[in-house]
Structure formats: structure tokens, C-alpha cells
A and B are shown apart, each in its own frame.
Chain A
Amino acid sequence: MKAADTYDRPRGRERMLVVDPDCGCWAVTDVQRLADTLEAGDLVVVNDAATLPASLRGTTADGTPVELRIMGPPDANRWPLAVLDGQDWRTPTQDRHRPPILRPGQTLRLSGGLEAEIQSVQSPYQVLATIRGGDVWAAVFRTGRPVQYAYMRQDVPLGAVQTAFATRPWAAEMPSAARPLTWSTLLPLRRRGVGLARLTHAAGLSSVDGGAVDATLPLPERSDIPAETVRAIRATRAGGGRVLAVGTTVTRALEGRVAAAGDLVPGVGTTDLILEAGSTLQVVDGLLSNLHEPGESHFSLFTAFAEEPLLRSANALADRHDLRAHEFGDATLILAGALARIPRDACLAA
């Protein structure tokens, strides 16, 4: 499937691949049809993380350039950083060279007059560093750029990778499942009695080395689940409503919290849950996401919602109709009973 390669495709007008595990069927429609599939008493849960300008330029003491990518929000000035070579996003990840070896105690000069001191090394590609030298957040927002990849045609501006409700800058990359959700869609849903709840999940990098490190993704990620959201989820399930997760990050946050804590306990926590075929979903009933293909960790999570052959057939239809993958592309909805509610003439099934 081709990637959407421009960042300014109009939001809310994307196409949507619908996968319905109830009938074992699938179709292509428009994302506006999402409203048909939801009714009063259902709950939509979104990730309100804003996207960081996570890509920073730096140099080692001997002048070797590096690209650093902030992997998640800092904890008391300890920043998780991915280390890449001194090229940039225009080079496909798998063609980039090994980054320079870094050691604890080493310092890197960052743009904006900052210095990063390596505290610990998790792998050749991942370090924990403290940053000093002035107003760190100001320098990050002035000199950092969004993380992006070689399928894009241009530099992506920070404003183009924010959802319609982006709040705390926790995400290394855009929680892009929500890109198609405009307020023109969300406000009428609210008025109809479909609930809208939020959590903040530190969506991580989707690629680091194009190889062995990528095979370990997603890494453990932090979530903050408000008590209000836990109450909304409990009330929804008690009332027979369904919980629609917008994004794999929301799915991971909620299912990971139950897996780790035994219950949906509010507050901040970390999840290392990997969802795959056969995983039991205890909180989430359906998923709105982007388009993903076998081999991606997101696709593996899809198989917790629907069987792989069904997903593959659906993807083939999407491909025939030139739906686009990646963050600026089209959408996938996996929700039991969804296709029974969308008018036939709004669907392409072949």
C-alpha cells in the first residue's frame, strides 16, 4: 500500500476501511460514516498527547554529527533519546549508518546552545541523557523538528502533526489515528450522546534502525489515565455501550493498565503490553486506526481485534482502491457490527 506523502490532505475527508468481525466482511467507505456505527451510550477514547518536535541535531565532542530523537516525555530532566547518524529523514532508515558509540559521561552539543550529558546507554541506539544550558523547552521548540520518514515529499511542520485536541507534548510521533477526527465530527457525536473521553499516552517512535531495534518496538510507554475516563468507561460497559479506542496507543494504554494493575486503575503508569492474535481485550471493543500491513507492530495489534485472513483481505481491497498508509493517510475501523449500520450505497466491497 502506498504511503500518503503530503501532510496537507484535508482532514475529515479520508477514506475508511471497515473490518467487521461479526459478519467476517469488509468494505471501503468514507471516514464520515464513523458516526453511523456509533450510538448513544458508546464511548470514544482519544489520546490527547501533543506531538513533540522530537528531532534534534547535535554533535559529539569530536565533531561527529548526530540526529537525536526524543522518545518520550522527560522525567526530572532525564530525557530518553534515540541516536541516529548525522544524515536526516530523507535517507530511508534502513540505509542510515550506525550512529557513533556513546558512553555514560559523554556530552553532546545540541542546537540552541544546549548540552546533553549521557547518563546511561540502553543500546547503541538508545540513551538516557540530562540536558542543560538554558531554557531547554524553549530550545527544543525553537530548534526541534517533527520526526518524519523518507516517504514524505517535504519537511513536515509541527502544526501538521497535531490532533484537534493535542494537549501535553508527550508523543514522539503523532497519535495519527485521530487525524481524521475533526470537531465537525466530534461535536455532533457528543450531542447525540456518544461519550468522548481522553487519556495521554506517550506514543513512541515507529522506527529507529530499520532492523533489530525496530523488531522490539513498541517499547514500554507511559500513560496518564484520568479518573474521569475510568468512570466513563465503567459507566459505558455497565450500560451495554461499546468502547472505541482511537489508536493503538489508546488500546495499549487501557489494556496495558488492566494487564499490569489487574483493573483499570487511574493515574500514571507504564505499559509494556504487546497485543497480538489471541490476546484478550478486557476494555476495548473496537479500534479506529490508520492503515497498517503485516510486519508492522500495529498490524499485530489489529489481529487482537480481527483474524489475520480477514485483515489481509480487507487490506487488499483498500490497496485496490488506492487507500493510503501512514500518518497522513486513510483510516481503518475494526468494530463488530459496523457494516450492518453503514448504508450499502456508501460502501465499496469489491
Chain B
Amino acid sequence: MNLSKIINFEISKKGLKTVQGKAIKLLAGFLALMLLFTILSRSAYSLTTPKVTTTTISSMSIEHDMNISGQIYANRNVIISTQPNIFILSVDVAEGAPVKTGDVLFRLDLNDLDKQLQLAKDQLKKLELQQTDETSGMELSANNKKTAAERAAEDYYKVLSTENNNVQKALDELNDLESNDVNYKAKKDAYNQAVIIKENNILSAQRVIDDANSPLATNHSAELALIDINAAKDNIGKMELLKLNNGEIKTPKNGTVKKLDVTEGTRTSDGVAALLTDASLGYCFKAKVDRDIAKDLSKDDAVTLMLNGENSALENLKIDSMYVSIEDSNFFQITVNIPPSSENPESTANIEIKKQSEMYSSCVPLDALHSDGIKTYVLAISDKKTALGSETIAERIDVVVEDKNDTYAAISSNFESDQKLILSTNKPIQPGDRVRVEEE
């Protein structure tokens, strides 16, 4: 190194324009630029970090509010029928109307009733006369047969005696002749003929006896006529009762008119004129529920019945039976008996059931649960050490849902009591993403 240069060493005044100067200026500019980018990247980091709200795990029981629709049926129906073919004067009730014992359902025309009654009586008389004729005819036939049998027997003995005499006579005549007599052969023939005639006549007489003793054909006309007579009498009795009641058909029990098959101006038919529900035996609510809903129900669960279209509610009822539906094993049939003191018509109704489950130690709002299609998980807040310090990240924790309703779910997993779970976020987040907890 040159000594003069060492002694006369000076920093060049043109330093900033030399390569060294430019390099120093560039370094300063580079550091300034890095400072600017530091601020920008921090701002971008802050803007892109999702903000989340959190919740903690709580211990509670899950309340299940269920509303099940179904139909109310009467436990028993009362069938109203009357004499057929009577003119209906008026119908006093309509289908669905509540009725009490003694209420008039419909009225029959008394004049027509009288006519029908008279016709029935005439019919009865005919039947009775018919029956008398049948009975006397049968007796006469029996007597005639007996007489014929007696006469046949008398004839038989007469024939037997006569023929025996004839055969004997022929035999005697034959015996009186010698075998070589010219009339022997004729007498013998006569004898044989007599025997043959005897056999034939006896046979004929025997046949007459047999015919006379043959049994008479069965004839139940009299009994049948008797049955018809009894039916006619019964019919007349009913019509007389109707007449006594002035042709009014009344309901025997409290209930509701379920079905009415009578029309003013027409005639009564042979079948059911009206079908009433019997309020004295109460009603039954029936509903079909899905298996998933049925697993939360059990026999004797308390229910409240809400009648459709009415503001009334029946409380203190319970599920009386629950069984697998016969039509579809994926459904359950539940029934709720409604006491007879209620006057509820058959209609659609809903039952409300509130059930409290057992106490669960880990319950979270439903919004905190997520699913990837295979497993259910929650996103928990956890701290992660990074170059930026302690960052808050969303950590995935797989859980198993033990029970849930519309707002809360009971989960099984090992959680600490103060573990915070992500409830909501302003941006979509995935497990492992950094987040910022919004302080409430």
C-alpha cells in the first residue's frame, strides 16, 4: 500500500456519486422500501384475518319440543238404523254436529209409517194363514198315508189267502190224477200257473204295502212360515214403537254425528242411517311418527293436545301406547287417550311434547358444529407460536353428537372447562386458519 495514499487518505467528496455512494443510497432506499412493505403486509394481514365470536361449553340438558300432527278418533261409534222404506219427513242434525242423549236426529212421516204398518200387518195375516194351510195339509197327508198302509196290509193278507187256496186247489186236482192221465199235463200246467200267479200277486201286494209305508218327503214350509211370521211381528213391533215415538229417531248417547245417510224427502234404507261417536267412552288421538322422532318418545310421556282451529289445549295427557306401524316398519304409531269428559269432535289435532334429556356436561350451540360430510367437528381457539408471536388459530376437534335440538347439541369429547369454540365468523375459515377473536 502506497504510504502517500495512506497519509493523504481522504473521503472523496464525490463519494455519493461513486459506486460506493450509489450502493449506500440504494441500501437506504431498500431499507425504506422494506419498512413500507412491512406496514403494508401487516395491514393486509389484519384485513384478511377473519373475525370470530366464541362461546364456551356449558353443562345443560337438551329440551326436545316436538309437535306431532294426527287425528282424533272416537273410541266407540254408535250405529243408528231404522225401519227401511219409510218416508223421511225431516233431518234435524248435520254431519259433525254434537248431539246429546235424546236429541232428534231425523223424523219419519207418520202417515207413511201407518201405511207401512198396515202393510206389515196384512203381510203377517197372510203368513199366518199360509202357515195354517201348510200345517193342515201336512196332517192330512199323514192320515192318508196311514189309511193306505192299513188297506195295503189287509189286501196283502187277502191275496195271500186267496192265492194259497188257489194253489192248494190246483195241487189237489193234480194229485188226484195219475201221471199217465191225459189231463195230468194240463193240471200240472194249471198248478204251475197258479203258483206263478200266487207269487206275482203276493209280490204286487207286498209292493203296495212297501209303497204305503214309505216315508213322506220333508216339508218345512210351516216352520219357514213361522219364522216369517216372527220377523213380521218384530217388524210391526218396531214400527209400532216408532209410531209411539211419533216417528222421531233419537240419539241414545252423547256424541257427534260422524255420518248421516238420510235425506229429507227420501225413504229410509236398509243399512246404517246415521253413525255417531260415543262421547261417553272418550276419544283417542292417533299419529304416525318417523323412527328418528320416535326414539325421543316413550310411553307415558306427558303431552298437550292442541285442537286444530280452536284455541283450546288439553293438558295432563300422556302417550298411552307406542308400537311399530304395521304398514311401514320405519314409522311408529302413537296413541293418546282423551278422557270422556271432553266433548271433542273427531278432527285433526296436534300434540306438543316437551322432554328434558339427561344432563350433559358438554353442550354447545348448533352454530358451533361443522361437518365435512364424514365427521362432525368444532373449531376451537388455540394459540400457535409463529414468527409473528402467539397467533390465534382455529383448531379442529372431532366430536360425536349425543343429542341435539334446534338450538343446542350435546357433544362428547375431552374439553377443558374454559375452552373457547368458534361460534360465528365473518369469513369462511378452515381448520388451521388464523383468526381474531372479537371481544364482546
Q: Do A and B come from one complex?
A: no
Interface residue ranges, A against B (CB under 8 Å) = none
Interface residue ranges, B against A (CB under 8 Å) = none
